Structure 1
Amino acid sequence: MNKKTIPLCLSVILLAGCWDQNPLRKNVVVVAGAFDKINKDNILTTVALRSTRQISGGENETVNSIVSASGHTLRDTRIKIDKKTVGNYSPNKIRVILIGEELARDPITPHLDAYLRDPKLTLSASVVVTKGKAGEIIKLNKYQNKLIGEALTKLLESAETISIIAHENQQTIKNKISDEGKDFVLPYLELKDKDIVFTGVALFHGDRYTGRTLKEEYPELLLLMQNKQHRNTRLMVRSGKEKELKNYISYTSRKSKRDIMITTKGGKPRVTLSFNLTIEINEYNGKSLRSQKDLDELNRIISRRIEKEMDTVIQTLQEANCDALGLGRMMIAHHPETWNKMNWENDYPLINITSRAKVKIINRGLIY
């Protein structure tokens, strides 16, 4: 043997082993799971286990089995589910984690920690809060002709694409929980007459759900305020005081520029949140916009209305003590002396935050 080939042969021999392989054929894969609080001592885990069965013609069909178990910890419920399962219980492919709102009001860190500690588990699973019991959604088994795990994944991906929610998973949540200058929000799902509906976002303070949500069009607006929106974010605003069809304007945000200015006086911060928005009108039932005067007037009306809606978002965030805009992180970075003198837990809900918006319509539609 040529001496030059000896190192190569040794490398092949050393790298050929698969000591940690985990064949899927021996496992029962979990694609979606739900955690609910039963009482102060017990939680309930409900999972969708994916497997295959043979149908006519020798073909295989993918099916779900819904299994539940209660216990004192997630590890405890996992062991109990494993005892009920034909094959090895394998949650390393889980894609969606649902947390019932009652359990989410307690610290969620211990429940995420059970997954973060296992090196074989994915960290990219989406985390969602549900109204009522999360397990009821998993028990649907199928939704709109898709297995529940796939259906939930598609729903979340669609909501992220159209800027209803931002993507959050176990890793991103863990990072924000560890950051004393920023809070996070999670998608909020409801089961209505067997329909799974996104009704808003759940507001968190630290690692607890505050019990407050942003609903209607406010989740999309929050994304805009966080500077996380997609290019084609679609929003709606009311141009008049009355809730009539003619007063609603649908628009697409094509470009936005956010500026957050924090000043301190007397040891108290003042925040100004400013936006320059370039939009296209999608639906509008008002008067003609052919003249520049009428167009400027509509720019002004939409700007004032967006400011009022941003004020509503800010008020809700402060009432929930949820710093989803990361103002505390900016204070730490740019005003450390003031930050060190403050008790952000108590002071954040009381700080003065002013919102400003300036809208420019670049496309008023074919009719106008």
Structure 2
Amino acid sequence: MILYELISFEALRVIWWLLMGVLLIAFAMTDGFDMGAGTLLPFVARTDIERRVVFNTMGPVWEGNQVWFILGGGAIFAAWPPLYAISFSGFYLAMFLILGAMILRPVAFKYRSKRKDPRWRAMWDRALFIGSAVPALLFGVAVGNVLLGVPFHLTPSLMPVYEGGLFAKFFGLLRPFALLCGVVSLALLVLHGAGWLVLKTTGDLQSRARRYGVRAGLVVLAGYALAGLWLYFGVTGYAFVTPPAHDGPSNPLIHEVLRQGSWLAAYGERPWILIAPVLGFLGTLLAIGALRSGRDTLPILCSQMAIFGMISSVGLVMFPFILPSSTHPTSSLSVWDASSSHQTLFVMLVAGVIFLPLIIAYTAWVYRVLWGKVTPESIDENDTHAY
């Protein structure tokens, strides 16, 4: 009870905004290399045994990586109910495509090597590619739409209304800036996946992963820089007319919001957040250099730095906004007016403090046990247990 009173409502809102970012970054760092490696499958693997090597680098860990996706969705549902309701209903078709694609991945892992028919295996290879590339692209498209603003409004009773029909909701997401963000997301995870394959494979397959990883890294650099320029010159930001109460009720309609200026004005107000894009660019450059220099472990560590910096840069420039409304700016959701209650956030924090270290410790133990290269010889020796 004393601890509950010591941690203010304002502090809990900021803590859960940070934890939401941590969970999303952890998902991108773990399941992201799965998606990147799956996207690279048709390009780096030329023979059936090479394709099996790629499958077996991911097969033992992909299920554990999905935990961060589930935790992120659960955290949004419990800590930020309006955000969950509006994003999952407004992005319904996109979410459906993402989940459908992600279902293809485990099915491909389980069924691909059940038969030796080349056509059967080629079908599941395509399934893994689709199940990896589509989510990697659409996650970036979603981030781009959040920066642009989403067409919704809240009724006086706080009922969210998303404008447009079902298909309009999906095709309305495919705006040029959002598509650019999708390309950056896909290229970034391909770079990350290349780092994973370099870490886990050898020979020609590893060499091809290096080459494609370098190309993906160059796309990331160009796309991220272009997105920054586009944000500065072509995307309007959001701002409160008067500062909201940080411990006030969760009702966006009591604060007036205007579209004005640029998101990047946040760098002038809080210069320290420049560290995020710097890490994004630096991590990508270092990953490219590590791939070219023949390093095995360094590329994936540097791509993780890039992921951390780029995702953080979005959250930091938007703070305190988490889901702006393009049609009714006052309905925009922010950290200060879209959270659950003080008690709910506190109980969730206690659960997080208990269980997150256990999840991290178990994940670290799994990767330690599975450390090492996957080779054609290791698959031949354990054919009955390999993917």
Compute the TM-score of the two structures, normalised by the length of structure 2.
0.21
More helix per residue: 1 or 2? 2
Larger Rg: 1
Compute the TM-score of the two structures, normalised by the length of structure 1.
0.22
**Which structure exhibits the higher relative contact order, with contacts defined as CA atoms closer than 8 Å and separated by 6 or more residues?**
2
